[in-house]
Chains A and B, each alone.
Chain A
Amino acid sequence: MKFFFHLGQYMLLMKKVFSKPEKGRIYWRQLLVEIEKLGIDSIGIVVIISVFMGGIITLQLTYNLTNPFMPSYLIGLGNRDTLILEFSSTVLSLMLAGKVGANIATEIGSMRITEQIDSMEIMGVNSASFLILPKIIAVVFVSPMLFILSIATGLVGGLITGPMAGVVTTAQYLNGVTYAFVPYYVTFSGLKTLVFGFLIASVPAYKGYYVDGGALEVGKVSTQSVVTTSILILFFDLILTQIFFK
């Protein structure tokens, strides 16, 4: 019952969000601000996590597949495909749901409880569209870029750790990275990140927009929105994989 209520309310909010903007120029300015705040500011953490994960995946692959008959290119290939198919798309999105999602829920939630949203509505401004649309566009726009960045830095992570630990040579690793490359994997995962990006921005925005109460509730809603978004990301991952990855 409650699920349908939220779904309905979410849909109505999205309808409001995607109605015609009042003043294009101001939205544009707002969009640039959001891209910087939600996207550029996430680059650091994406790079750090991806380099480490790329390195760790490479080590795990070699230690767990110690078989003399195993071709050495499997290590680079394994790292590459793990990054492309799940890590840089899904796991990274889960992480962004925590960082970006909590930020959005808190920001919009505190604007709600301090009546900033009401005061926008009173002016005749469509607050949902003004506050949420630039965030959704910004996150959807940067998600595929962070995805590509994560793959690249993850591969570098493997390139550093593999040869350093002496489990694979640079040449073997690079050979693996380019071996049997399927471009569709990148397209598929890239499109997935668009869907995840939409969820990461819109679900916490929805939660924050309808928060009722004070600072305590804003905190609660922010945590809740991370949990909900994460579950939705995994759910959509399952669905999309089932539909488009056969």
Chain B
Amino acid sequence: MIEIKNLCKSFEERPVLKDISTKFEKGKTNLIIGQSGSGKTVLLKSIVGLLEIDEGEILYNGEDVAHFSNKERKSLRQDIGMVFQGGALFDSLTVEENVRFPLDMFSKQTEKEKLDRVNFCLERVDIKGANELYPAEISGGMRKRVAIARAIVLNPKYLFCDEPNSGLDPMTSILIDNLINQITRDLDITTIINTHDMNSVMEIGDNILFISHGEKWWEGNKNEILYTSNEKLNDFVFASPLYREMRTLKKQELKDEQS
């Protein structure tokens, strides 16, 4: 479980995150949603420690990371899998080498075991026959999926994904959502996903944090979001007529289920 308390972050006097507090539960898919530029990436990077925060606390399983020694921080990081918004694959390594990199660095497996693990992870993100290609030779969506494979190769305890399905077609997008959701439950890990994707919100949002201009506006799950009276959130999530329609249908569905 990860908890943040009164987190504030600004860039050169310009506040980007304002007093955000929330909890991200273990075994659940936590989503951070919000408009472009609202501070999702900055929030995620602050949580993993890539950005220094100005104020507040970040607690992993109740322990404040600010008090971690270098060694503790290092061992925490080996439990973290992260998918960056742009994929961040290593240009000079092939797809296979990219996914194998964390294994090479931290695992004591034999070459054969490593290769099996790499292929298993690549299969889970539906990538086949691209092992020898370089990141520049595969499509943007494929890069993202390889990045996901790399993030899960060491069975992380914490999984962070910055817009894992932006730029993917609807089918692959659902595949990725389900994969992350599945892994989260199977391994009972803490997962945080930044997303714009309303389908993800509706399907896998166990806990949804909505931020706007760096402030927390709403928090709830995928069912609660259907009934929210928060105007800003409504405008954001149900911006298109299609989603408004969907909301009506979903509400009906829930009612039927209950009765």
Where the two chains meet, the residues of A that have a C-beta atom closer than 8 Å to any C-beta of B are 22-23, 26, 110-111, 114-116, 118-125
- Of B20-28, B79-87, B181-189, B245-253, the one with at least 4 CB within 8 A of chain A: B79-87
Q: Is B63 an interface residue (CB 8 A)?
A: no
Q: Is B239 an interface residue (CB 8 A)?
A: no
Contact present for A124 and B106 (CB under 8 Å): yes
Count contacts on B: residues with CB < 8 A to the other chain.
Answer: 22
Task: Enumerate chain A residues within 8 angstroms of B48, measured Cβ to Cβ.
Answer: 122
Known interface pairs A26-B104, A111-B91, A116-B91; A124-B75 also in contact (CB < 8 Å) = yes
Task: Enumerate chain B residues within 8 angstroms of A120, measured Cβ to Cβ.
Answer: 90
Contact present for A123 and B102 (CB under 8 Å): yes
CA of A112 to CA of B48, assembled, Å: 17
A119 contact from B76, B82, B105, B106, Cβ within 8 A:
B82
Q: Is B128 an interface residue (CB 8 A)?
A: no
Nearest opposing residue in chain B for A25, CB measure:
B104
Known interface pairs A115-B84, A116-B91; A121-B50 also in contact (CB < 8 Å) = yes
Task: Enumerate chain A residues within 8 angstroms of B102, measured Cβ to Cβ.
Answer: 123
Task: Enumerate chain B residues within 8 angstroms of A116, measured Cβ to Cβ.
Answer: 88-91
Task: Enumerate chain B residues within 8 angstroms of A125, measured Cβ to Cβ.
Answer: 105
Known contacts A111-B90, A123-B78, then 14 further A-B pairs from the complex at CB < 8 Å, ordered by chain A residue: A22-B105, A22-B106, A23-B104, A23-B105, A26-B105, A114-B88, A115-B86, A115-B88, A116-B88, A118-B45, A119-B84, A120-B90, A123-B80, A125-B105
Where the two chains meet, the residues of B that have a C-beta atom closer than 8 Å to any C-beta of A are 45, 48, 50, 74-78, 80, 82, 84-86, 88-91, 101-102, 104-106
Contact present for A118 and B88 (CB under 8 Å): yes
Contact present for B84 and A124 (CB under 8 Å): no
Nearest opposing residue in chain B for A113, CB measure:
B86
Task: Enumerate chain B residues within 8 angstroms of A124, measured Cβ to Cβ.
Answer: 74-78, 80, 105-106
> 26 A-B contacts, Cβ less than 8 Å apart?
A22-B105, A22-B106, A23-B104, A26-B105, A110-B91, A114-B88, A114-B91, A115-B84, A115-B85, A115-B88, A116-B88, A116-B89, A118-B88, A120-B90, A122-B77, A122-B82, A123-B78, A123-B80, A123-B101, A123-B105, A124-B74, A124-B75, A124-B77, A124-B80, A124-B105, A124-B106
